[in-house]
Amino acid sequence: MGSTSGVRYGVVFTISLLLSWTLVTGLLMLSYRAGSQSLRDAAQWAGLWFFTVGAPTVQALRIHRCLNEVVRECPVLSPQVRRDLAHARFVILMCGSMCALLVFGLWAK
C-alpha cells in the first residue's frame, strides 16, 4: 500500500462488526425481554451491552483509524506490523463477543 491508500475494513473485520451488532445485541435484547423488565434489569443489560458491544466497537474503530494514520505517515511499514494491527481490530471485537457468551453461559446455569 502506498501513502495515499488506506487500510480497508476487510471481510473478517466487517463480519465481526456485523455479528457483534446484530447477534450479540439481539441476544441481549431477547434476554432482557425474557426477564422481569425492570429499570434495574434494563440498566444491567445496557451495561453488559456497553462492555461487550459498544466499547469494543469504538476501540476497534479507533485502532482502524490509527492504522490508517500509521500507514499514511509511514508507507514503508512492514507488512507484518500492518497485519498485526489489522488483526488487533478483530481481536477487540472477538473479546467483547466472548465475554457476552461467557455471561450467557454462566446465566444459564
16-66 pLDDT, tens digit each: 899 888 988 998 888 889 888 899 989 999 999 999 999 999 999 999 999
Does the pLDDT of residue 2 top 70, yes or no? no
pLDDT at position 109: 65
Q: Extract the C-alpha cell encoding 45.
A: 443489560
Does the pLDDT of residue 8 top 90, yes or no? no
- Reference 23, options 103, 105, 101, 102; nearest CA is 101
Q: Where are the beta strands (DSSP E) in the chain?
A: none
83-92 pLDDT, tens digit each: 888 888 889 9
What does the buried/exposed string (b/e) look like for 83-105 if buried means 16 or more CB atoms within 10 Å of the residue's CB? eebbeebbebbbebbebbeebee
pLDDT at position 100: 85
pTM above 0.85, yes or no: no
Does the pLDDT of residue 12 top 90, yes or no? no
